[in-house]
Structure 1
Amino acid sequence: MQKKKIIIIGGGAAGFFCAANLDANKLSVTILEQNSDVLQKVKISGGGRCNVSHACFDPKELVGFYPRGNKELLSVFHKFQPGDTMDWFEKRNVALKIESDNRIFPETNSSQTIMDTLVNEVLRRKFKIETKIVVLDIQRQNEQYLVITNSGEYLADYIIYTTGSSPKSLKILQNLGHKIVEPVPSLFTFNIKNDTLKDLMGTSFPHAEVSIPKLKMEESGPMLITHWGLSGPAILKISAWKARELAAQQYRFEILVNFLGIDKDDAEETFKNFRSENPKKTIGNSKIYNITTRFWHRILWISKVNLEKNISNLTAREIQNIIQNLCENEMSVSGKSTYKDEFVTAGGVELKEVDFKNMSSKILSNFYLAGEVLNIDAVTGGFNFQACWSEAWLMAQDLNSKGIIRPK
């Protein structure tokens, strides 16, 4: 009896996790990766620590973190969710930990732990991993597929397509008959030139709020001043949810930033309470809010308030300026910078063309799709990887049921 041949195109999270769950007794598997190293996104995720998943164990709640694909993923997560991911790795002696923000990491704080586990599972099954293989074309050949590459041809009974969202890989799918939603960046930082932020790179705000009035969109969370402008979860979340709209604006739009993350009236009350309790302090030495002294001095400078002025001598106008610059600071965004750790796109294969019971193509027989090649993406925090693990697990279960080619 002959084993069925599976070619996995793309050696990333989805491709490897699928292979790591395939039955070596029934299937012959080859992973083709165009780069010299596999699992590159796993390697850099979470600053090299690998944000494996997120501790959200209710599928209905979990899909709320996916701007695109939330309806389709509900059934997927009912079959394999973050608790199953944790169980899978822990059965292979990878201890995981849940951090205070619910992100899940290996105890080792090293992505190499996750990479080694996936590679070892694939090699243990005696599956092949081939690198520097660029797929140029895929052609139907009777009941099989001919995969044409830069170093020869491969014949497959089944194709697992987990390439990510590169234009070339999407073009191959388009040529095979799939509809492609044009990809645009989904997680990115905002490029801003504004005196409030100048030379304050590295300053962070634990509970900021950011809104885009034109799009009626608001997000909250930690925020960070970078060399280019603003980043951190608050910014990345809003960039994910409004990825297509911001692309249409060519990344030029107005935002309102609340550095404190509290209501303007509450900020003013806090200010006045502090002033009544500390009437003799200078405004420059007043620690009223949970912000750095450097940032506080910058706010006073743009509010045209003298640092040496006694807090009790401030005019109502000066107080209003300070509160306005802290809680409703209007800024112009003039571009984006892709978030290096979690480069993700919105766009890819049209979801109506995929059967989410097993991640098979509705257009092509014996052809499976998972990962970023699909028009599915999530906010930052381990959610994009979780979609990969869940989709890959479903594909593997389906292929394991297909079994061996029996002689006629």
Structure 2
Amino acid sequence: MSNNTLAVIGGGAAGFFAGVNAARLYPGLRVILFERSREVLSKVRISGGGRCNVTHHCFDPETLSMAYPRGGKELRWAFEQFQARDTVTWFNDRGVDLKTEEDGRMFPVTDDSATIISCLKKEARKQGVEIRIKSRVGAITPIENNRYTIDLRDGKSIHADAAVIATGGSNRSRTYDWIRDLGHTIVDPVPSLFTFNFRRKIFEDLAGISLEEASVTIDGTNFQHQGPLLITHWGLSGPAVLKTSAWAARYLYDKEYRFTIRVNWVPPKNEEDVRGILYELRDYNARKLVNKQDRFALPNRLWKRFVALTGIDNGQRWAELSNNQIHHLAQQLTGARYEIQGKTTYKDEFVTSGGVPLTEINTGTMESTIRPRLYFAGEVLNIDGITGGYNFQSAWTTGWIAARHLPFG
């Protein structure tokens, strides 16, 4: 039996997973989880539109690690210890079945994040984890024998034999000052996973229109991603944009979110392919209006907008199109350029690039290389994934590894 105490700072996915698994792995260990807000697992509750995108159906560690703009190399080996298949098994063993959607995202079959929260809370009760909400940690002070004093903002404090920091990401650098006080450096945080706002709102009235496949490229760079695309009141969103924003997060921050994108609305067709199709439409649909077509999988309202942006008259017939107009319409469909000025982040679901650098962590154990018996898990680390359940998977993985390698075995 253990008489040791583990302090877990942060009641999100990573902290909670570290806490419940630590309590399970080390019988008698006292686990105290501190959450500064009034609710644990709040990000789990709202994620995936309230359904909770638990993980991604990718059971190969190497392929899985490729979904992380920051931290992928280190996670490649971490996933050998605990990967997406292990996440599915962990929840299955506790009565939660997951389902896989066409794009690989995995959700509870109930389509309700409360299912995941209930499972985790039930496990916490079963393992005797003490959960203290509205408990903001002000400092962690090293004391003798590599132990720590956890000082709370309300003036109370406890002694711990080890600590796991899982406070999540923050877009304010000063939020990490108390971690800097422990001797760690911080990679300045910048937003990741955000939508692109157009300087000119040329699609504003088409908000809500989505495409199953489009390609987005940041002009002058190699940042390019393909996937579903959503038109918003402000610009563009959807996986194609969110993935691009994740990989280009630091580049776009340096650009102050003023840049140009190119969009291919009809991939994998290129400009030459599209031009050929338009010539065919001119030949075989000669008497029909240009604002109607059946060769491209585009909503009619969006097609009409492209026709208008090309300068083609609304009443013009296909037979009346000049070669020059066909050329410009093909460009509009496969390589239109849009000036971006600003971004929109998901306020409560924000993801950051930045945090504790992995060079200061033993990623095989999640223990600090600067402070013994101090562990890190989740987005407080300089790890972030693209959209699709990857950020939760890195939380489960790092939380589990931290729990597995505590010095209480």
TM-score calculated relative to the size of structure 2: 0.95
Query: Which of 333, 347, 371 is the aligned partner of 2:378?
Result: 371
Q: Which residue of 1 aligns with 2:3?
A: 3
1:255 deviates by 1.1
1:302 paired to 2:309:
yes
| Aligned: 1:258 with 2:264 | yes
- Choose from 200, 212, 231 the match for 1:225: 231
- Kept in 2, the 8 Å contact 1:257–1:327? The answer is yes
Asked whether 1:158 is paired with 2:137, we answer no
Residues 218-276 of structure 1, C-alpha deviation per residue, up to 9 Å, x if partnerless?
11111111111111111111111111111001111111111122211111122222333
Of 184, 198, 208, 1:202 maps to: 208
**Letter of the aligned partner of 1:150 in structure 2?**
R
Q: Which residue identity does 1:53 align to in structure 2?
A: T
Task: Give distance in 2, aligned partners of 1:53 and 1:176.
Answer: 32
Contact 2:289-2:315 at 8 Å conserved across structures:
yes
Letter in 1 for 2:151: I
C-alpha contact (below 8 Å) 2:218/2:260 kept by paired residues = yes
Q: Which residue of 1 aligns with 2:369?
A: 362
Q: Distance in 2 between matches of 1:75 and 1:195?
A: 44
> Which shows bigger deviation, 311-320 or 4-13?
311-320
Q: Is the 8 A contact 2:57 2:106 kept in 1?
A: yes
The counterpart of 1:127, out of the listed 122, 126, 129, is 129
For residue 191 of structure 2, what is the aligned residue in structure 1?
185
Q: Deviations over 1:312-352 (max 9, x none)?
A: 11111111121111211111111111134641100000111
Aligned partner letter, 2:277: T
In the aligned structure 2, how far is the partner of 1:6 from the partner of 1:195? 52
Any conservation in 2 of the 1:46–1:341 contact (CA below 8 Å)? no
Q: Does the Cα contact within 8 Å between 2:2 and 2:27 map onto a contact in 1?
A: no
Residues 217 and 224, structure 2, Cα contact 8 Å, conserved in 1:
yes
CA contact (8 A) 2:201 2:233 kept: no
Relative to structure 2, which stretch is displaced further, 319-328 or 333-342?
A: 333-342
SS of structure 2 residue aligned to 1:20 = helix
Runs of at least 5 residues in structure 1 that lack an aligned partner in the other structure:
404-408
Deviation of 1:203 after TM superposition, in Å, equals 1.2
Aligned positions, number: 402
Q: What residue in structure 2 maps to residue 148 of structure 1? A: 151
Deviation at 1:193, TM superposition (A): 3.0
Q: Structure 1 stretch 197-206 or stretch 33-42: which is displaced more?
A: 197-206
Report the CA distance shift for 1:216/1:246 in structure 2 as closer, same or farther (over 3 A): same
The match for 1:57 is: 59
**Residue 169 (structure 1) shift:** 4.5
- Long gaps (5+) in structure 2: none
Q: What is aligned with 2:139?
A: 137
Alignment pair present for 1:13 and 2:13: yes
Question: Which amino acid is the alignment partner of residue 164 of structure 2?
Answer: I
- Conserved 8 A contact 2:2-2:408: no
Q: What is the aligned partner in structure 2 of residue 95 from structure 1?
A: 97
Pick closer, same or farther for the CA change 1:313–1:250 going to 2, 3 Å: same
| Equivalent residues of 2:281, 2:318 under 8 A apart | no
Q: What residue in structure 2 maps to residue 346 of structure 1?
A: 353
Between 313-322 and 368-377, the greater mean CA deviation after superposition? 313-322
Consecutive aligned runs of 4 or more in structure 1 exceeding 6 Å deviation: none
SS of the equivalent of 2:123 reads: helix
Indicate yes or no: 2:82 matched with 1:67. Answer: no
Is the partner of 2:274 in helix, strand or coil? helix
1:337-378 Cα deviation digits (max 9, x unpaired): 113464110000011110011110000111000101101101
Are residue 31 (structure 1) and residue 33 (structure 2) matched? yes
My pick for the range that moved more, 71-80 or 188-197, is 188-197
Residues 195 and 40 (structure 1 numbering): CA distance in 2 closer, same or farther, change over 3 Å? closer
TM-score (norm 1): 0.95
Match of residue 406 from structure 1: none
Sequence identity (%): 42
Q: Is 1:325–2:329 an aligned residue pair?
A: no
**CA distance in 2 between partners of 1:92 and 1:35 (Å):** 27
Residues 276-296 of structure 1, C-alpha deviations (whole Å, 9 max, x = no match) = 332221112223311111111
Give the RMSD, CA atoms, in angstroms. Answer: 1.4
Report the secondary structure of 1:50's partner residue.
Answer: coil
DSSP 3-state at the match of 1:21: helix
Code of the residue aligned with 1:396 in structure 2: it is A
Aligned-residue offset at 1:212:
1.2
State the alpha-carbon separation in 1 of the partners of residues 133 and 286 from structure 2.
69
Q: In structure 2, what is the equivalent of residue 243 of structure 1? A: 249
- Please state whether the residue corresponding to 2:405 is helix, strand or coil: helix
Query: Structure 2: how far apart are the matches of 1:108 and 1:73?
Result: 29
Confirm or deny: 8 A CA contact 1:67 1:379 kept in the other structure. yes
Structure 2: which amino acid aligns with 1:51? N
**8 Å CA contact 1:240, 1:378 repeated in 2:** yes
Within 2, Cα distance between the matches of 1:293 and 1:257? Answer: 18
Q: Tell me how far apart the structure 1 counterparts of residues 365 and 18 of structure 2 sit (CA, whole Å).
A: 12
**Secondary structure in 2 aligned to 1:199?**
helix
